[in-house]
């Protein structure tokens, strides 16, 4: 895979399986534990079950995240092992294995020829000019910044509640943290972007949530960006009201119009934030890291595609990748927009301008992408289809046992040691 400029991070986890079996009555193993295969390679998936599993098992095999390509069988398990799949693979394709009893389950996935995935929609010829015009309008608006000091329990750092005007329907709102004694041109930028939702703790800006990033390396200019332009630090009822009111199903807003689509405002706020951060005297003029998970990961990829100053995007199970996958026989990325009941022709004339699978075309930033090989929210094929379009260095962490979250408890420690820790280590090293 070197010919494609890939840096595929693989990890053998056989060492851990004895401990897994002790805490899990059903275990699936595959012949290539990385979960990444090439056309012509054989994959064997074996089921292990303890004596505690006495009832029948449901074995589901799902190809391309597609229900029409799913097989389901019921088996009465006898013995302690069973080969559930033994085939020579042809790609690009994905296969997910899901085994369940009355009280237990196990699931793993694989992907074949991931470097061959391409977007399910056509790249708009005027995409660059569209975003150039958006940026020109944005920068023509004189920047107005409101900044209020926020008290934090960090003697060497300061934090600010920041609001910046924007051409989108909402202003930029978020928190900025930085070392108090930072000298001019001494700090890299870290932009933290949030997962989907409105009122949850994971999708709201908080000063405490950015301090780990602000302390990375020798300190950073860290901005925690509110995806929706909501006010920061409000009572719970404020966010609950937005979730059932103005921001209800926000991802469906304006899908038939480039001017009305919700993602336009979201991306403009990212662009405005980066312009603001790059104007600060402490920025070293070189390094910008954008980081996020799910919707935040999609925003990180969009930022890398829209702003050539971004040098690294760290995207964990990113959304907004290859919405058009739904049109070519596989599942598109969150929020599966082409599966919604809107005018498909108008959506085809709109969505590609905001799909990271097209925004990343020609991008030179380093991309670090964690991919869940059993993730139905942000399918592995959608992520590869998007990131494949970039031209910079790619570091993939394909995780065979990961759904949108690490849901199988037996794998939590493995994930922390072989995926999470290396990603954080990469960021720390880069930001020194």
Flag whether pLDDT at 6 surpasses 60: no
Strand-by-strand arrangement of the 26-30 sheet: 26-30, 42-49, 81-88
pLDDT for 78 equals: 75
| Mean pLDDT, residues 28-40 | 97
Nearest to 62 by CA among 371, 397, 334, 374: 374
Residue predicted with more confidence, 76 or 95: 95
Token pair recorded at residue 132: 């150039």
Q: pLDDT tens for residues 144-198?
A: 999 999 999 999 999 999 999 999 899 999 999 999 999 999 999 999 999 999 9
Q: What is the pLDDT of residue 24?
A: 76
Please state the rounded mean pLDDT for residues 285-290.
98
Rounded to an integer, the average pLDDT of 388-394 is 98
Q: Alpha carbon of 116 to those of 93, 216, 321: distances in Å?
A: 10, 35, 15
Q: Which residues pair with 86 in a beta bridge?
A: 44
* In the block, residue with structure tokens 């020109």: 136
61 phi, psi to nearest 5 deg? -120, 120
The alpha carbon of 133 is separated from its chain's Cα centroid by a whole number of angstroms, namely 27
Percent of the chain with pLDDT over 70: 94
Q: Is the pLDDT of residue 90 over 60?
A: yes
Q: Taking residues 348-367, report their average pLDDT.
A: 98
Q: Which two tokens mark 88?
A: 């020579």
Q: Each residue of 240-272: pLDDT tens digit?
A: 999 999 999 999 999 999 999 999 999 999 999
Q: What tokens were used for 311?
A: 């040098």
Domains and CATH numbers, the chain: 22-115 (2.60.40.1930), 127-431 (3.40.50.1820)
Mean pLDDT rounded to a whole number for the chain? 93
Q: Which residue has the tokens 């970039």?
A: 390
- Quickly count helices (H) and strands (E) in the chain: 11, 18
Q: What is the pLDDT of residues 101-140, one digit of tens each?
A: 988 999 999 999 999 999 999 999 999 999 999 999 999 9
- Indicate whether 12 pLDDT > 70: no
Asked whether residue 19 carries a pLDDT value surpassing 60, the answer given is no
| Interatomic CA distance for residues 387 and 371, integer angstroms | 11
Q: What are phi and psi of 95, to 5 degrees?
A: -140, 135
pTM for this structure?
Answer: 0.94
**In whole angstroms, what is the distance from residue 25 CA to residue 264 CA?**
47
| Mean pLDDT lowest among 77-81, 182-186, 266-270, 274-278 | 77-81
Instruction: Give the burial string for 227-255 (b: 16+ CB within 10 Å, else e).
Output: bbbbebeeeeeebeebbeeebeebbebbb
* Nearest of 237, 261, 230 to residue 352 by alpha carbon: 261
């Amino acid at each position: 895979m070197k010919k494609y400029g890939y840096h595929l991070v693989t990890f053998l986890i056989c060492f851990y399986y004895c401990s897994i079996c002790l805490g899990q009555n059903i275990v699936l193993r595959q012949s290539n534990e990385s979960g990444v295969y090439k056309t012509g390679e054989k994959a064997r998936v074996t089921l292990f079950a303890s004596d505690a599993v006495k009832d029948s098992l449901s074995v589901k095999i799902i190809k391309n995240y597609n229900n029409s390509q799913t097989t389901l069988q019921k088996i009465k398990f006898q013995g302690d092992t069973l080969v559930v799949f033994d085939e020579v693979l042809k790609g690009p394709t994905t296969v997910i294995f899901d085994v369940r009893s009355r009280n237990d389950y196990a699931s793993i996935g694989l992907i074949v020829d991931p470097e061959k995935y391409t977007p399910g929609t056509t790249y708009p010829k005027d995409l660059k000019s569209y975003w150039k015009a958006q940026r020109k309008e944005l920068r023509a608006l004189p920047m107005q910044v409101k900044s209020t000091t926020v008290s934090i329990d960090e003697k060497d750092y300061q934090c600010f509640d920041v609001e910046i005007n924007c051409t989108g329907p909402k202003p930029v709102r978020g928190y900025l943290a930085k070392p108090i004694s930072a000298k001019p041109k001494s700090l890299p930028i870290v932009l933290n972007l949030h997962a989907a939702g409105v009122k949850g703790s994971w999708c709201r800006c908080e000063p405490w949530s950015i301090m780990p990033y602000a302390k990375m390396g020798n300190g950073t200019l860290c901005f925690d960006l509110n995806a929706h332009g909501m006010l920061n630090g409000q009572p719970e009822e404020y966010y609950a009201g937005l979730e059932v009111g103005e921001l209800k199903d926000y991802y469906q807003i304006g899908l038939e119009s480039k001017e009305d689509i919700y993602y336009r405002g979201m991306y403009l706020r990212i662009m405005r934030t980066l312009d603001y951060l790059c104007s600060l005297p402490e920025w070293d003029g070189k390094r910008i890291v954008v980081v996020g998970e799910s919707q935040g990961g999609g925003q990180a990829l969009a930022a890398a595609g829209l702003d050539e100053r971004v040098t690294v995007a760290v995207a964990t199970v990113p959304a907004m990748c290859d919405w058009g996958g739904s049109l070519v026989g596989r599942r598109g990325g969150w929020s599966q927009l082409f599966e919604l009941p809107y005018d498909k022709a108008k959506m085809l004339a709109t969505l590609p301008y905001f799909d990271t699978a097209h925004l990343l075309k020609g991008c030179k930033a380093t991309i670090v992408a964690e991919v869940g090989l059993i993730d139905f929210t942000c399918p592995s094929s959608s992520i590869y289809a998007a990131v494949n379009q970039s031209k910079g260095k790619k570091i993939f962490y394909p995780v065979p046992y990961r759904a949108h979250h690490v849901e199988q408890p037996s794998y939590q420690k493995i994930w922390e040691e072989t995926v999470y820790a290396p990603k954080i280590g990469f960021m720390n090293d880069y930001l020194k």
